[in-house]
């Protein structure tokens, strides 16, 4: 396992496990399976409704809390100083912990400046080891970066072979904020698992399409948290450290970049209206 050192010196595993869309009733089992395989970093969110499952699994694992790296995110219905502050306490409770390793603002909508202040306060109180944002594209990222007293340690954005986030990455690097991928397998969109280039490259190394796509991100310095509820796939997604993609293969994969989302654009007014409808 490789670790990334964040801008405040905190070390974070570069490979972790995400639980978006993992049913509440399956989360404990999935996280316990993942722990057995060797995962120690877990990504959840208030909006996923399964923080408690992550907390129970970690408690049941019998391993010391310090071995784990837990990320959660403040949802937009909890945006604003007071609500965000209360929601941090709720997340701590649900996760059965007295500190969160990484706390992110899930979406750049609502009074997220108030949320950021509440996160800074929690950070200073030792309830959170690192704070950051998610889905903040360069326009909003630069604004909050400028505003923040405690600079965002991480920005979690859609990143995979078809959307390599070249522009966002340039600005994150400039301000020393770590890029963390969501959807590292593009959730299978764009026929990811049948991609001919990834298949051909995988055949050379005796690796699957998933492993090649994930390794590409690791070699590019991206933090990844692939999701699967199946033990064999969790293992597959974890076994990434016994091969290295050549410079030539990295270049071929770089050419798969479309520069566009395979989900939705945060710049699209229809997307923003949809988020507003939740508030
Ligand atoms: P992902 O790209 O990790 O794809 C997961 C899907 O790919 C699985 O549901 C399964 O269908 C398939 N899959 C996984 N491993 C496979 C394998 N080895 N072979 C074949 N198929 C396989 O998608 P994701 O879950 O959206 O993203 C990962 C994590 O990122 C989430 O669980 C969550 O923690 C986080 N996330 C965050 C945001 C955000 O807005 N911040 C949004 C989406 C996801």
Per-residue pLDDT of the chain (279 residues; tens, 9 = 90+): 899 999 999 999 999 999 999 999 999 999 999 999 999 999 999 999 999 999 999 999 999 999 999 999 999 999 999 999 999 999 999 999 999 999 999 999 999 999 999 999 999 999 999 999 999 999 999 999 999 999 999 999 999 999 999 999 999 999 999 999 999 999 999 999 999 999 999 999 999 999 999 999 999 999 999 999 999 999 999 999 999 999 999 999 999 999 999 999 999 999 999 999 988
Question: DSSP secondary-structure letter at 63?
Answer: S
The protein residue whose alpha carbon is closest to atom 30 in ligand 1 is 182
Pairing of strands 3-5, 11-13: antiparallel
Is 48 tagged catalytic?
yes
Determine the distance separating the centroid of ligand 1 and the alpha carbon of 22, expressed in angstroms.
Answer: 10
Print the domain residue range for 255: 3-278
Model pTM above 0.85:
yes
Neighbours of 3 (CB within 10 A): 14
- Which residues does 25 contact at the CB level (< 8 Å), separation at least 6? none
Domain count along the chain: 1
190's tokens? 């764009």
- Among all chains, which residue has been given the structure tokens 């699957």? 208
Q: Residue 23 CB: number of other CB atoms within 10 A?
A: 12
Tokens matching residue 211: 């492993």
CA-to-CA distance for 26 and 87, rounded, in angstroms? 23
CA distance 12 to 19: 18
- Judge whether 136 and 155 are in contact, CB under 8 Å: yes
Q: Which residue, 7, 9, 27, 8, is CA-closest to 17? A: 27
CATH number at residue 9: 3.20.20.100
Which residue of 20, 158, 225, 235 sits with most ligand 1 atoms within 8 Å of its CB, as the best mutation to test the pocket? 20
Residue nearest to atom 18 of ligand 1 (CA): 233
């Amino acid at each position: 396992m490789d670790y990334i050192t964040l801008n405040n010196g905190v070390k974070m595993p570069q490979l972790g496990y995400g639980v978006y869309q993992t049913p509440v009733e399956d989360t404990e089992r999935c996280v316990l399976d993942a722990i057995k395989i060797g995962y120690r970093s877990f990504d959840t969110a208030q909006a996923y409704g399964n923080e408690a499952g992550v907390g129970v699994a970690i408690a049941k694992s019998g391993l010391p809390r310090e071995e784990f790296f837990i990320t959660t995110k403040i949802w937009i219905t909890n945006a604003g100083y007071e609500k965000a502050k209360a929601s941090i306490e709720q997340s701590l409770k649900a996760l059965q912990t007295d500190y969160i390793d990484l706390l992110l603002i899930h979406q750049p909508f609502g009074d997220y400046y108030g949320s950021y202040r509440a996160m800074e306060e929690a950070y200073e109180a030792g309830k959170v080891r690192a704070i950051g944002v998610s889905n903040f594209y360069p326009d909003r990222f630069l604004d909050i970066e400028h505003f923040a007293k405690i600079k965002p340690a991480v920005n979690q954005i859609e990143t995979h072979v078809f959307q390599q986030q070249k522009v966002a990455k340039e600005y994150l690097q400039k301000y020393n904020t770590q890029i963390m991928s969501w959807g590292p397998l593009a959730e299978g969109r764009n026929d990811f698992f049948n991609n001919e280039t990834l298949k051909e490259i995988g055949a050379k190394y005796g690796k699957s399409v998933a492993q090649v796509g994930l390794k590409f991100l690791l070699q590019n310095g991206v933090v990844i948290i692939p999701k699967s509820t199946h033990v064999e796939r969790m293992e597959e997604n974890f076994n990434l450290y016994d091969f290295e993609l050549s410079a030539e293969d990295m270049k071929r994969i770089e050419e798969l970049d479309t520069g566009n989302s395979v989900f939705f654009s945060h710049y699209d007014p229809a997307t923003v209206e949809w988020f507003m409808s939740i508030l």
